[in-house]
Amino acid sequence: MELTDIIKQLPYSEPFLFVDELLHADENGVKGTFTFKKELDFYKGHFKDNPVTPGVILTETMAQIGMVSLGIYLLNNDIKKDTVIAFTSADMEFLKPVYPNEKVTVTSQKIFFRFGKLKCSAVMTNEAGQEVCRGILAGMITQKL
């Protein structure tokens, strides 16, 4: 499976797509990047005169790259039209702020994938290689009823 095919199958679009590029994917994990462009709408109010990427957006970025992209890879192109991907939990630790125009890299490692449930450990680093956040993410891949 081509890495660009995984991105095309993500159930997101601009302005809520937080994956620019996937660098690697295999049965154990995935690695990808995203640049938080200064024009993104949430920077207008978070925070006044000192924009910082909200933690919920960092979590979403880690989930899109580290969990959903990995899930699509593990399903091996078997995403059907009625597939539903649901984010079920996150246990996050935020270590450094991410500012507008920063490029981050997310690396995830599968903890388990069974019965449609995927759990993985993910780390986000900045361009200097510093950890900005890390966490355990989980989600379910199922079909609409």
DSSP state of 97: -
Q: Is the pLDDT of residue 77 over 80?
A: no
Beta strand pairing call for 29-36 and 117-125 = unpaired
Which of 21-32 are b and which e, b meaning 16 or more Cβ less than 10 Å from the residue's Cβ?
ebeebeeebbbb
Q: Where are the alpha helices (DSSP H) in 1-145?
A: 3-9, 55-63, 69-75
Q: Residue 100: count other Cβ atoms within 10 Å of its Cβ.
A: 14
One of 17, 20, 46, 109 is an active-site residue; which one?
46
* Overall domain count for the chain: 1
25 vs 133: CA distance, rounded Å: 20
What is the per-residue pLDDT for 17? Answer: 97
Note if 24 is an active site residue: no
Side-chain-facing half-sphere of 114: CA atoms under 13 Å: 2
Q: Which domain holds residue 12?
A: 3-143
Helix (H, G, I), strand (E, B), or coil: what is residue 1?
coil
Phi–psi pair at 17, nearest 5 degrees? -100, 120
Convert the pLDDT of each residue in 59-68 to its tens digit: 999 999 999 9
What backbone torsions phi and psi does residue 56 show, to the nearest 5 degrees? -65, -35
Q: Give tens-digit pLDDT for 9-45.
A: 998 999 999 999 999 999 999 999 999 999 999 999 8
pLDDT tens-digit profile of 112-142? 999 889 999 999 999 999 999 999 999 997 7
Q: What's the pTM value of the predicted model, to 2 decimals? A: 0.94
Find the CATH number of the domain harbouring 123.
3.10.129.10
> Which backbone phi and psi does 53 adopt, to 5 degrees?
-70, 125
Rounded distance between C-alpha atoms, residue 18 and residue 61, angstroms: 5
